[in-house]
Structure 1
Amino acid sequence: MRTTIAPKMKTALLVFVHWVLQYVVCRDVTLPSGPLFRVAGFRLSLPCHVSGYEGPRTQEFEWFLYRDGAGGRQMGVVSTRDKGFPYAPFQARVRNGEVRVERDSGDRVRLVIQRLRAEDQGKYECYTPSTDSTYQGNYSGSAVVKVIPDSLQISYIRSLTSQPVPEGAELTLTCSSSIQSEQLTHLSVMFGKRGGGERLDGGADAEVSTIREIISIDKLLGVVPGRFYKKRYEDGEITLEKRNGEGGQGFYVMKMKAVQPDDAGLYFCEASQWIRDPDRTWQRIAQRTLDIGNLTVQQLAESLGVASSPKGEVTLQVGSPLILTCEVLGLASEVNSGLLVQWMKRGSVGRDEVGTGGVEVEVARMSPDGIVSWGDDLSRASGGSMEKVSEGKYSLKLFSARPADSGVYRCVVSVYAGRKNPSPSTPATLTQRSEGVVVNLKTKDVLVSAVARLPRGPLLKRGNTVTLICNATVTTTGPVQVQVQWLRWLIPEPDITRNTGGVPLDFGAITEPGLVATLMYNGIVKIHANKSEVSVDRLSDDSYRLRIHTATVEDQGMYRCHAEVWGQDQHGGWYNTGAKAESNLVTVYLYARAADLLLIPLVVGVSSALFVGIVIIATVTCCFMNRLARQRPHK
């Protein structure tokens, strides 16, 4: 019984497994679900995919067309394995490549008709010859293609001429486009340019892009900037808007607020017609490109010039007005640019040759919004002015020039092409400097000398008032005033102990000085950090006094006076002539007072008396206690 049932069950099981495998692994050919609406004269790309097949991974494909109104007659279009497969209407088109099969992979291809014709409308069948062991599954699939008329229109309002456009000028391009279709289709418009490409991704072997998309309005009416123009779009420098015209005509206006050298190239406008297929994917079914013209940009560096006047060298008397003019040349009148104008100066009084070195400092500036600010010398804000005389012309005026105003002046202009009011973070398009103007100021000859001394008197003691005299002798003409500073150096400790006269043995060991007090040229006294009470006054035209009241040990040191001469110009203003002198060093050493000297023996005496008294009391007490201890046993 077992020998007859087991083989039957085994056979049934094999048949079942074979049937399941045939059911699971069966050929299936898929195409997009239709109908697919495409535009006459434009490209048709119809994909076909086969799966569940046996045999080689590279499958063969054959395409057939069932034209509308042909009574279901089959027409061979193109085959991947048979060059003689196409029927007569397609033979020439297949030979010249207008109709072809493009292979995406071994089992994925697409039928491409480069220029679709009205008679190409119908049902397309994709057939795959069998490579399977048994004929099982779906070996073909089909999709209906509807060919609609071409209604896509595009034109421009004004073309670009060959005339160069100055850097920073505004560029406006306008394209109009429309479609007339019974189907629900959408329109997108893109502005782009050819030329002026650069390497992508920064790689050495990257391909050079010669076409750039600038900005577009997509099929869903969203504004999309191109890859290289995102920053400028976000900054509001590139815009695109749609304006509705008559009869469904749309006008698309692109504006560049400030063209740059990299914007040179051939500009074009591209309109695309889109439709949504039954599988919910968007397909471009028509596209037209229209060249607007070539843009040439005249770079600012080729035209900009900055000139300052007077030319060369200027020599003035101290107190005379200094007037410098800066002129900006080569700016295009149609470009609305912001200007940052600065006056810079290098060198000053006190150098053997004006402007040969030193740090260049800013004297004054005028920002693009017309605000004037001054450099480190804020006193010039009330003693000078900076003005815009006319368009592109600026002046710097110092009402009463001082010796410190000598040096080499340059006008520095930063141009923000096409940006009248740039933000602080906006980089300048170009910065250019003028030639230098050498300004010399004639000053009267001034000679000055200074001598410091301690008046004769008893030895200085702690708590006394210390008096120092500075005699400053000035030889010149005209009214002058002397500004006197008192400085003090600490005396190294070893030098004090070894030199009762207060003269240091090693001058190099002296530390940096501290400023004690200043008597300004205008009579104002400034007392600097000091624990003691200090006063400064003027005894005569050439004699100045420093007094330290109730002097302490901290006031000891080496003192010197520093004299600077200030002159008066014809307007009554005071200026530093640059003449200065330093006096000799005077050492101040404070001795101890008599009361301090008497205190020492008093303290020593009291201490000695206390010590002797304690010793006597301790001795007597010790002896008395020992005697009492010996007498107790006898009792």
Structure 2
Amino acid sequence: MASWRSALLWLHWVTPYALCRDVALPPGPLYRVAGFPVSLPCSVSGYEGPRTQDFEWYQYRDDTKGHQIGVISTRDQGFPYAPFQPRVRSGEVRVERDSGDKVRLVVQRLRPDDQGRYECYTPSTDTKYQGNYSASVEVKVIPDTLLISHHRTLSGQPMAEGAELQLTCKAAAQSQQHTHVSVTFGVRGGSALSGAPGHNLREVVSIDRMLAVSPGRSYDRRYRDGEISLEKRSGDSSGDLYVMRIGAVAPEDAGSFFCEAAQWILDPNGEWQRIAQRTLELGNLTVQPLADSLKVTSKPSGEVVLEAGAPLSLTCEVSGVGSLSRSGLLVQWMRRGVASSDAPPGGVEVEVARMSPDGVVSWGDDSSRAGGASMEKEVQGRYALRLFAAHPADSGAYRCVVSVFAGRPNPGSSSPATITQRSEGVTVSFKTKEVSVSAVAELPRGPLLRRGNTVALLCNVSVSTTGRSQAEVRWLLRREVQAEGGPAAEDRPLAAVTHDGLSRLYSDAGELSVDRLTPTCYRLRVHAAQVEAQGQYRCQVEVWSQDPHGGWYNTGARAESLPVRVYLYARAMDLLLIPLVVGVSSALFVGILIIATVTCCFMKRLARQRSRK
């Protein structure tokens, strides 16, 4: 109990001394620029009474010999002296509350005669008069020397999407005090993303008082990609030059651009304060989207009919990109061939060739074309595809597909294209000669085929056409296999004889050989045939013709024979094996039975003889 009484007694004596009113203002002197606002924060602590305190502001000018001039009060509307009455009524001089015990004296536009010492006074609400009830700070009003200018403004003419935009402005502050300048480039309105043209304000990029460059929030990714930059260049007496560059303008960049310069000073409390600011309009930017201007055309248009082996030349023209040297173009030639039974309507579209933005040509569906074709950039915006000897396999609808990387001459492999557009199709067809072909597969007569024998099958081919031709024969084996849904048929390629007489054996086909017995008869042999060689054999034939230049091409004429069934019988030794096994087994059984019977009878007789004795 004694300790509690001692603590209460200590609090009774200490509390009056702990609660001492304290009024605080930032240390001075504070240098501010004429014509621009000043904000003087004042706070009170350690007070008694209501949480909302009143504040009175006074000014002491050098030319009044220390006489105080009432500026404004939070409790008395008639407090301001004559020099401040109209400014207080208009709101140019006002008090703004941050909280009940924190306020700010705001002078919207400083005048030279506003220089002086400002006192913040708080009328007492305490039971005892203790502490300090006012604080003062010196305010120095310096001339406005912040200058901002520009070399040129935007012309207002639309710029193509992907074009480079460069804006400049000069800024300087010729002050006797040590001040720094920051510059910000921004744009108002016009953004398709804002939803409110004319009211959207976006910072593009800025350089702060310590020369650190930072992008606006909506331009951060483009700044990191190197598309946006801001550079300070040393200038003349009129100021330093600030150059802002947008490497590739986009539709969302449209709007009214401005340059804003701010003057900063380091206050005695160690905080930087902006003391002056000016904005310079740089003009309106209108961006023409590539979707509205890009045009991709292929020539010739319509349909091209060729003789087999004739050259094919197609041209792709690209316009409406603006400066082609500043944008990367990926140009592709695509071909949609004739639809097959298992292909979607219109056939499957494949890539024939492409030229990357760095000029490298690669071939798509047929890499062998690299030796018999070319893709070239003839002039800016014109690309040619040439097949030196086109064949019916090249028929189909050709399109030129152009992907534009606006403002990125050398985009990365994963960079998305700004826009991709396709040309109208050019149909390429051929004057083909009449070709008829038939194929008959047969198994020559002979002894029964047994396991381990060589199975020989023949494919007789008949081709009717003009000019030189060759047949390409492929052998297939159809076997029954077990699948999830039950038995199913499986076609397995075995071997082939190409049109130029080469034999081709597939790695999993077993011991096979193929040859051509006569110009119209082809043979397949399966050596040491086993059970897995049983099944239905067919031969497929494709006709190749020779063009006027001596090159061979697939005419597209083909035929398939009816299946021939191959069944392998067991060998003679396999047939004798079962009787032999049965005979040997029977002989052993009979022998064992006889021996067991004789032995049993002998033992019984021996037993009877012993019993008589």
Q: Give me the TM-score of the superposition, normalised by structure 2.
A: 0.92
1:372 pairs with 342, 356, 361, which one?
361
* Distance in 2 (alpha carbons) for counterparts of 1:14 and 1:547: 117
392-401 or 458-467: which moved more?
A: 458-467
**2:588 partner letter:** L
* Distance in 1 (alpha carbons) for counterparts of 2:363 and 2:539: 33
**1:126 partner letter:** C
* Distance in 1 (alpha carbons) for counterparts of 2:443 and 2:324: 76
The residue aligned with 2:287 is 297
- Offset of 1:71 from its aligned partner? 2.3
The residue aligned with 1:357 is 346
The residue aligned with 1:346 is 336
**2:357 partner letter:** P
State the Cα deviation string for residues 393-438 of structure 1 (Å, max 9, x = none). 1111111112121111111111222222222222222222111111
CA gap of 1:597–1:134, structure 2 versus 1, over 3 A, is same
**2:217 partner letter:** R
Asked if the contact 1:197/1:209 (under 8 Å) is kept, the reply is no
Asked if the contact 1:29/1:141 (under 8 Å) is kept, the reply is yes
* Distance in 1 (alpha carbons) for counterparts of 2:496 and 2:457: 13
Pair 1:402 & 2:386 matched: no
CA gap of 1:199–1:366, structure 2 versus 1, over 3 A, is closer
The residue aligned with 2:230 is 240
Asked if the contact 1:168/1:335 (under 8 Å) is kept, the reply is no
* Distance in 1 (alpha carbons) for counterparts of 2:405 and 2:206: 27
Asked if the contact 2:324/2:381 (under 8 Å) is kept, the reply is no
**1:394 partner letter:** Y
Pair 1:477 & 2:466 matched: yes
* Distance in 2 (alpha carbons) for counterparts of 1:105 and 1:492: 87
* Distance in 2 (alpha carbons) for counterparts of 1:536 and 1:595: 30
Residues 162-561 of structure 1: pairs in structure 2 closer than 5 A? 162-197=156-191, 210-247=200-237, 249-333=239-323, 336-348=326-338, 357-490=346-479, 511-529=489-507, 532-561=510-539
Asked if the contact 2:191/2:197 (under 8 Å) is kept, the reply is no
Asked if the contact 1:532/1:550 (under 8 Å) is kept, the reply is no
Asked if the contact 1:198/1:209 (under 8 Å) is kept, the reply is no
State the Cα deviation string for residues 271-316 of structure 1 (Å, max 9, x = none). 1111111221111111111112222223322222111111111111
- Offset of 1:52 from its aligned partner? 2.4
CA gap of 1:30–1:308, structure 2 versus 1, over 3 A, is same
- Offset of 1:512 from its aligned partner? 1.2
* Distance in 2 (alpha carbons) for counterparts of 1:630 and 1:37: 148
CA gap of 1:341–1:96, structure 2 versus 1, over 3 A, is same
State the Cα deviation string for residues 92-124 of structure 1 (Å, max 9, x = none). 111111111111122211000011112111211
Asked if the contact 1:349/1:578 (under 8 Å) is kept, the reply is no
Asked if the contact 1:199/1:208 (under 8 Å) is kept, the reply is no
* Distance in 2 (alpha carbons) for counterparts of 1:328 and 1:136: 85
The residue aligned with 1:499 is none
- Offset of 1:89 from its aligned partner? 0.7
3-state DSSP of counterpart to 2:490: coil
State the Cα deviation string for residues 2-48 of structure 1 (Å, max 9, x = none). xxxx9xxx9x9998754422222232221112221111211100011
Pair 1:576 & 2:579 matched: no
465-474 or 366-375: which moved more?
A: 465-474
3-state DSSP of counterpart to 1:512: strand
3-state DSSP of counterpart to 2:555: strand
CA gap of 1:290–1:335, structure 2 versus 1, over 3 A, is farther
* Distance in 2 (alpha carbons) for counterparts of 1:246 and 1:208: 35
- Offset of 1:85 from its aligned partner? 0.6
CA gap of 1:512–1:164, structure 2 versus 1, over 3 A, is same
Stretches of structure 1 that go unaligned for 5 or more consecutive residues are 1-5, 494-507
- Offset of 1:266 from its aligned partner? 1.4
Pair 1:141 & 2:102 matched: no
- Offset of 1:258 from its aligned partner? 1.5
CA gap of 1:603–1:65, structure 2 versus 1, over 3 A, is same
CA gap of 1:97–1:456, structure 2 versus 1, over 3 A, is same
State the Cα deviation string for residues 41-63 of structure 1 (Å, max 9, x = none). 11100011122223322222111
Pair 1:566 & 2:556 matched: no
Pair 1:592 & 2:570 matched: yes
CA gap of 1:342–1:207, structure 2 versus 1, over 3 A, is closer
State the Cα deviation string for residues 217-266 of structure 1 (Å, max 9, x = none). 11111111111111111111111111112348311111111112221211
37-46 or 20-29: which moved more?
A: 20-29
Asked if the contact 1:487/1:513 (under 8 Å) is kept, the reply is yes
CA gap of 1:511–1:199, structure 2 versus 1, over 3 A, is closer
Aligned residues: 606
3-state DSSP of counterpart to 1:343: strand
**2:567 partner letter:** Y
3-state DSSP of counterpart to 1:413: strand
State the Cα deviation string for residues 503-535 of structure 1 (Å, max 9, x = none). xxxxx9662121121111111111224564221
- Offset of 1:370 from its aligned partner? 0.8
**1:395 partner letter:** A
* Distance in 2 (alpha carbons) for counterparts of 1:585 and 1:110: 101
Asked if the contact 1:189/1:271 (under 8 Å) is kept, the reply is yes
3-state DSSP of counterpart to 2:104: strand
CA gap of 1:193–1:187, structure 2 versus 1, over 3 A, is same
The residue aligned with 2:151 is 157
The residue aligned with 1:83 is 77
3-state DSSP of counterpart to 2:467: coil
**1:470 partner letter:** C
* Distance in 2 (alpha carbons) for counterparts of 1:566 and 1:239: 62
Pair 1:615 & 2:593 matched: yes
2:103 pairs with 109, 130, 134, which one?
109
**2:524 partner letter:** L
Asked if the contact 1:318/1:441 (under 8 Å) is kept, the reply is yes
191-200 or 215-224: which moved more?
A: 191-200
CA RMSD of aligned residues (A): 2.8
* Distance in 1 (alpha carbons) for counterparts of 2:189 and 2:98: 32
The residue aligned with 2:94 is 100
Asked if the contact 1:198/1:210 (under 8 Å) is kept, the reply is no
326-335 or 163-172: which moved more?
A: 326-335
* Distance in 2 (alpha carbons) for counterparts of 1:434 and 1:564: 34
3-state DSSP of counterpart to 1:301: helix
532-541 or 381-390: which moved more?
A: 532-541
2:117 pairs with 93, 114, 123, which one?
123
3-state DSSP of counterpart to 1:513: strand
- Offset of 1:627 from its aligned partner? 5.8
* Distance in 2 (alpha carbons) for counterparts of 1:181 and 1:30: 29
3-state DSSP of counterpart to 2:64: coil
- Offset of 1:464 from its aligned partner? 1.9
* Distance in 1 (alpha carbons) for counterparts of 2:594 and 2:189: 117
**2:475 partner letter:** W
* Distance in 2 (alpha carbons) for counterparts of 1:27 and 1:197: 53
- Offset of 1:487 from its aligned partner? 1.3
* Distance in 2 (alpha carbons) for counterparts of 1:547 and 1:324: 47
Q: Give me the TM-score of the superposition, normalised by structure 1.
A: 0.89
